[in-house]
Amino acid sequence: MAKFFKQLGLVVATFCLVVAGLAISAPQAAAANVTIKMGADNGMLAFQPKEVEVSPGDTIQWDNNKMFPHNIVFEDAALADLSHQGLLNTGNDDYTSVVPADLAPGSYTFFCAPHRGAGMVGKLIVK
C-alpha cells in the first residue's frame, strides 16, 4: 500500500510540474496598435474615437486628420511622456506614443489645448 501512495505522489508531483511549466511558458499577449484621429472625418473638432481602451505596452498612433493644428495633452502630470505639447500643423505631422508598462489601470483624460474649449477631449482607458 505504501508503494501505491509513493507512486501516486510522484504522479501528482509530475503533473504539477508540467502544469507550472506550461503556465510559465505561455506566450504574453502581443501589444496592440491603436489609432486615434485628431479631427474627426466629418470635420468636427474631436478625437476619433473619443474613448479608447489600451493595455500597457500598446502603441498609440495619433493621426493629424482634420482641422489642425492639434496637440495631445494629458491632464495627469504622470503621463507627460504620452503628451505632445507642440502643435502638429499639417496632415503629415503625426505622433506615436507607447503606453508605459507600469501605468496603473484607470481612466485618463487627454485634450487638444487649442480646441479644448470646443470639446476636443478624449479618454484613454487602461485595462
- For the annotated catalytic residues, the residue numbers are 70, 112, 115, 120
As a whole number of angstroms, the distance between CA 88 and CA 94 comes to 7
As a whole number of angstroms, the distance between CA 29 and CA 25 comes to 12
Burial-class residue 65 by CB neighbours within 10 Å (0-12, 13-18, 19+): buried
Question: Could you identify the residue written with the cell 484607470?
Answer: 106
